[in-house]
Amino acid sequence: MHSFRSNGTAMRLNKYLASCAVGSRRTADALIFAGRVRVNGEVVREPGRSVLPGTDLVLVDGVVASPTEKLYVVFHKPPGVVCACKDRFEKTVMDLLPPSLVGQGLFPVGRLDKESEGLLLLTNDGDFAQEIMHPSFGVIKRYHVRLTAPVDARTLQQWRKGILMEGRVVVPVLVEPLWGSEKSFWIRVDLQEGKKREIRVMARALGLRIRRLVRVAVGKLELAELQSGAWRLFTREELCRMIALGGRI
């Protein structure tokens, strides 16, 4: 995996903001384009603007943006909670973490929809989130999917060839059966890019219904024995090593 480090020299504004726990670089870009970021009193709308950490004063909505201690959390998301920092009507993953962590600017890396469960990473390191989420870095996410009825080999082959989503064919990395019975059927689906509700949309297009959807691995990092609703802290180095080389939580 690539490594992004500040060397004390000038940085792109969006990268600097990502180091300040405002979210991913995509979030930083949105703040900049919206005119919510000032550098030395000037509204800046260019994500590539150079800033010098420790010298330039950067404000987001009038609040000083400064680099924070980086945190990396592995969480077993239970079903019924949303992957959001806050929600007026729904329980979020943040509601299940201690206040000492929530107050550190954590945000979910990617998302699992409300009904889904399993391995979820949270961090306040925008560069790390970019590495995990962007398809160009090649981090594969593995899911175990329980269908409401058995699926035949022809339908699985259709799924492997890809499904039309948002105007283009999206092809999974892998689709294969796991185990089944007369009332249920488990399959494994590996994805490299994560469109919203991608597996559910694919299944629906094939006439299949999902009873349960569990993310069991990110890269070579496996969920293993971490109980639903439980979490663990790691260093960036530990987590990157486990994602790249393998590890069980």
95 included as an active-site residue:
no
Token pair 């954590």: residue: 106
CA distance from start to end of the chain = 20
163 CB-near residues (< 8 Å, 6+ apart): 169, 170, 201, 202, 205, 206
Pair 36, 61: CB distance under 8 Å: yes
Q: How would you class 55 by CB atoms within 10 Å of its CB: exposed for 0-12, middle for 13-18, buried for 19 or more?
A: exposed
From the list 95, 113, 127, 152, the catalytic residue is: 113
217 CB-near residues (< 8 Å, 6+ apart): 119, 141, 142, 223
Q: Spell out the alpha helix ranges (H) of 78-165.
A: 99-102, 126-133, 153-161
Gyration radius of the chain over CA positions: 20
Token pair 């998302």: residue: 111
Catalytic positions are 113
